[in-house]
Amino acid sequence: MLAVSNLSAGYGSFQALFGVSLEVRAGESVAVLGPNGAGKTTLLRAISKLIDASAGEITMEGARLNEVPAHEVIGRGIAHVPENRRLFPRLTVEENLRMGAFSSRKKFPERLKFVYGLFPRMEERCGQLAGTLSGGEQQMCAIARALMSGPKLLLLDEPSAGLAPVVVQSIFALVKRICAEGFTVLIVEQNVQQVLKVVDRAYLLETGRIKSSGDAAALAASSELKRAYLGL
């Protein structure tokens, strides 16, 4: 579904990604793991065209994304839940969801029904300002907002960041449910133990380069992972 080959990207003169290649197949859930500053967020930002690639190619279902403007990426079936959730704090939950459906407004009512079915909590809170939600609810709302576009591929940027451990568990349970609903998921995480229980495969990103990849279970046992995180 999504193929990234030899992608290099960065900010100004600072290069964050060096020839990264990865692939996400339809129906799969894939994680990109790595410590702080490894380039995980940059990778997602490059896929959704918030920043331009300096080299390499990104294709979605065979169609090249490099020249597509950022606001048209969602039309190709890619929805991005950004780092720190980035809800519109002074819009209500439902208005945030409306923004998620901006590119496909005719389908708003049916998608809203679907998303409320998936997250009844959001329906209870529909008239509440998003900025007043708890951290876990905000993450839920951010994921719901992304699903409102009816994506084929969901990009998740550290959904567990800044949440209490018990909430983290429920967020990963949610991610698992979304995968079960048939969405293809590419998730970027630091919470290695939890995320490897949820995804099929994972890549290990370190200082802008893919260091290893493989089956989630195999990677969980690998020494590469321990070395990247613990310096062993």
Partner 1 sequence: MEIFDIFLLEAVVNGILLGGLLALLSLGLNLIFGVIDVVWICYAELIMIGMYAVFMLHTQQGWPLLAAMPAGIAIVAALGAALHQFVIRPVLAAEPINQLLVTGGMLFLLQAAATLAFGIDFRNLGVRMQPILVGEMSISAPRVIAFVAALAGVGATWLLLSRTFIGTAIRAISQDRAIMPLMGVNPDRVFVITSALGGALAGLGACLLVLQYDIHPAIGLSFGPITFLICVLGGLGNLLGGLVAAFIFAQFISVGGFFFHLEWGYVIAFAFFIAVMFWRPQGILGGK
Smallest distance, partner 1 to C-beta of residue 127, A: 12
Smallest distance, partner 1 to C-beta of residue 88, A: 5
Contacts of 149 (CB under 8 A, 6+ apart): 74, 79, 100, 101, 102, 103, 104
The two tokens of residue 117 are 């079915």
Contacts of 205 (CB under 8 A, 6+ apart): 20, 32, 33, 34, 38, 39, 40, 43, 211
Smaller CB separation from partner 1, 25 or 71: 71
Question: Nearest-CA neighbor of 36 among 232, 229, 211, 231?
Answer: 229
Smallest distance, partner 1 to C-beta of residue 102, A: 5
String of contacts with partner 1 for each residue 107-146, x by CB under 8 A:
--------------------------------------xx
Three-state secondary structure call for residue 93: helix
Smallest distance, partner 1 to C-beta of residue 218, A: 33
Smaller CB separation from partner 1, 68 or 220: 68
Smaller CB separation from partner 1, 84 or 134: 84
Which of residues 72, 110, 124, 181 is near partner 1 by CB under 8 A?
72
The two tokens of residue 5 are 């080959």
In sequence order, which ranges of 148-198 are alpha helices (DSSP H)? 165-180, 192-198
Residue 102, interface with partner 1 (CB under 8 A)?
Answer: yes
String of contacts with partner 1 for each residue 26-65, x by CB under 8 A:
----------------------xxx---------------
Q: Rounded to whole angstroms, what are the CA distances from 222 to 21, 23, 66?
A: 20, 21, 34
* Burial category of 96 from C-beta neighbours within 10 Å (exposed 0-12, middle 13-18, buried 19 and up): buried
Which of residues 22, 79, 118, 187 is near partner 1 by CB under 8 A?
79
Return residues touching partner 1 (CB under 8 A).
48-50, 69-75, 79-80, 82, 86, 88-91, 95, 98-105, 145-146, 149
